[in-house]
Amino acid sequence: MKLYYSPGACSLASHIILNEINVDFDLVRVDLKTHKTEKGADYYEINPKGYVPALEINPGLILTENVAILPFLAQHDPKQDLIPPSGLGRAKVLEWLGYLNSELHDAYAVFFGAPLNDDAKAKGYAEVDRLLSYIDNAIGESDNDYLVDDNFGPADAYLFVLTNWSKAIGHDLTPYANINALCKKVAERQSVQIAMRDEGLIP
């Protein structure tokens, strides 16, 4: 398999899960401003959508969108620890992935487009805080070690990556004790440390 990524982008979640399932894969860095790969290829010819992640499963067979890639990769876990094979447990994973992708991801993405004035920034921070408050409360009301059950999974990886963007936008995560505790556990995983080093995000 081959993962097309940009350092620290949402593709980091797919990178983490690839490390978790311990398969051979290649990484291809994409410049999202020029839409060129590290070897100068036109990324639009690989993924016409133009953004990451894109997962090349076999030559010419490309899967895009984290909500598709993350469950696809997680189901390759031979122990079935990353995602339940069926039933309500699997549906809850997909529910979280859908929420993170359609709500929290979009709320953060506002800050990575055109420069925002002070009023737009305030509104953007307020929306991020609204969504994080919901997630923090949900974690606090749960007896699970992670978002869905007691096993780390793709939704946890995605939440970790998105909330890590708070540093880039000058957003304070301090009020969210439950999110911080969960993300601290995620950050300590070997799969995460390797992915972040490979993408140049940590020494």
The structure tokens 């051979």 sit at 24
* Structure confidence at residue 199 (pLDDT): 98
Q: Is the pLDDT of residue 112 over 90?
A: yes
Specify the domain boundaries for CATH 1.20.1050.10 within the chain.
87-189
Could you tell me what percent of the chain has a pLDDT over 90?
A: 96
Mean pLDDT, residues 110-129 taken together: 96
Residue 5 to residues 36, 129, 148, 182, Cα–Cα distance (Å): 11, 27, 26, 24
* Structure confidence at residue 78 (pLDDT): 79
Mean pLDDT, residues 50-63 taken together: 96
Cβ atoms of residues 34 and 26 within 8 Å: no
Q: E strands of the chain, at which residues?
A: 2-5, 26-31, 36-37, 54-58, 61-64
Q: How sure is the predictor about 64, in pLDDT bands with cuts at 50, 70 and 90? A: very high
Which overall architecture, per CATH, does domain 87-189 show?
A: Up-down Bundle (1.20)
Specify the domain boundaries for CATH 3.40.30.10 within the chain.
2-78+191-198
Cβ atoms of residues 76 and 21 within 8 Å: yes
Long-range CB contact pairs, 21-28, < 8 A, 24+: 21/73, 21/74, 21/76, 21/77, 21/82, 23/76, 25/1, 26/1, 26/2, 27/2, 27/3, 27/198, 28/2, 28/3, 28/4
Q: Is the pLDDT of residue 141 over 90?
A: yes
Rounded Cα–Cα distance for residues 155 and 59 (Å): 27
The total of other beta-carbon atoms located within 10 Å of residue 119's CB is 8
Token reading at 15: 């990178």
Residue 128 to residues 64, 69, 75, 135, 152, Cα–Cα distance (Å): 25, 24, 30, 11, 24
pTM exceeds 0.85, yes or no = yes
* Structure confidence at residue 80 (pLDDT): 78
* Structure confidence at residue 57 (pLDDT): 97
Q: Is the pLDDT of residue 79 over 90?
A: no
Q: Is the pLDDT of residue 22 over 90?
A: no
Q: What is the pLDDT of residues 147-174, one digit of tens each?
A: 999 999 999 999 999 999 999 999 999 9
CATH 3.40.30.10 fits 2-78+191-198, yes or no: yes
